[in-house]
Amino acid sequence: MVAEPERNGPADRLERLEQRVNEMAQRQEQLMQRLGTQREGQAPMAGPGREDFRPPRALPDRTGMGQPMPPAGAPALADFPAPAGPAAAVPEQLVRLGRDITNARVLAVMSRVPRHEFVPERLRAEAYTDHPLPIGHGQTISQPYIVAFMTEQLEPKPTDRVLEIGTGSGYQAAVLAGLVAQVYTIEIIEELAERAAADLKRLGYTNAHVRAGDGCQGWAEAAPFDAIIITCAPERVPQPLIG
C-alpha cells in the first residue's frame, strides 16, 4: 500500500482551517439550541450592569478612514484596565486540559476585555460563562474559548492590520484591538454594526473601525491586511478577501 503524500501546501492548510471553523460554528449552533431550550419559559435574568446596554444609534465614520491614523503598534496592556472581577478568571477556562490556549498576550487581553459590556443587559450575569449568548437578529457573541482560539491562530503582532468579517457584538474586535495596531471590522446587519461601533468607542477601543456592509467584498480602501479573521460561517472563503 502506497502512502499518500502529505498535503501541506497553502491551499491544503486553508482547507483544513475552513473545516475547523465550520466544525466550531456547528458546535456553537448546537450549544445555542440547547441554551434556547433550557431558557424556554423562563423570565429574563437580571444582570449586574449599571448602564443601559443599548447605546445611541449614531454610527461613527463607517469607513473608519475619516480620522487620522493612530501611531503604528498595538496599545500597551497597561493602557487597558488591570484584570479584575469575572473577566480576570477567563484565562483559567482557556488553559485547562483540552483547551490549551498558550499565547501569553492573548490570555492577558482576554482577562482585560469586559465581555459583559458586549451582551444584552438581561444576560450579563452569564457574560463570563464559556458558552455563546444571543445578541439579537439571530446572532450570538461567541464563547470566550472560540474567540481566544481563533485569535491565537492569527498569531497577532503589535504592528498588524487585521480585517474581521462579522463584527457581531464587537467583542472579538475589542480583543484584537488590544493585540494589533488596527482592526477593521465589517458587519452586514446595520443595527449590530451601529451598536458595536458605539460600544467600542464608549469603551475606548480607538483603533477598531466598524463598517456596515457585506464583508465578503472586503475593505479595499484599508487593504492590504496582515491577517483576516472570518467570524461568521460562510461555505467558503470569499474570493475578494484573498484575491
Residue 111 catalytic? Answer: no
CB of 196 closer than 8 Å to CB of 169: yes
**The residue type at 4:** E
CB of 116 closer than 8 Å to CB of 128: yes
Query: Which candidate in 111, 139, 140, 142 is catalytic?
Result: 142
Q: Is 119 exposed, middle or buried (0-12, 13-18, 19+ CB in 10 A)?
A: buried
CB of 35 closer than 8 Å to CB of 140: no
The cell numbers describing 71, all together, are 501611531
Q: CA 189 → CA 47, 114, 139, distances in Å?
A: 25, 23, 10
Residues with a catalytic annotation lie at: 142
